[in-house]
Structure 1
Amino acid sequence: MEQVFALKAHYLPHAPDTTESYARALWLSKYHAQVVANGIREAFAPGD
C-alpha cells in the first residue's frame, strides 16, 4: 500500500488523498510502463 501512496505523490502531488486518486496514479504508472516498453520495442525493431 505504501507504493500506491508514493505513486500518488509522484504522479498526482496536488490531488486529494482519495481512493480515486490512488487508482488513477496506479493506472498512470502501469500506462507509463507500457508506453515505455512499446517505445523500446519499436526502437530496437528491425527497420521496414
Structure 2
Amino acid sequence: MKGAHPSFVVPQTRVLDKGQDWIEFEWNPHANRWEESAFRSSSAT
C-alpha cells in the first residue's frame, strides 16, 4: 500500500490543510501496525 511502513500504512497521499480535515487510524494487531480507517478533507486534491 502507498505509504507503507512496518508500523504505519495509508492507501494514498493525504492532505490535511483545513481545521475540519481529519484522518483516523486503527491498530491492526495481525499486521502489527496502524492503518487508516477513515479520512475527511475539504481540500480539492
Structure 1 length-normalised TM? 0.21
Structure richer in strand, relative to its length:
2
Structure richer in helix, relative to its length:
1
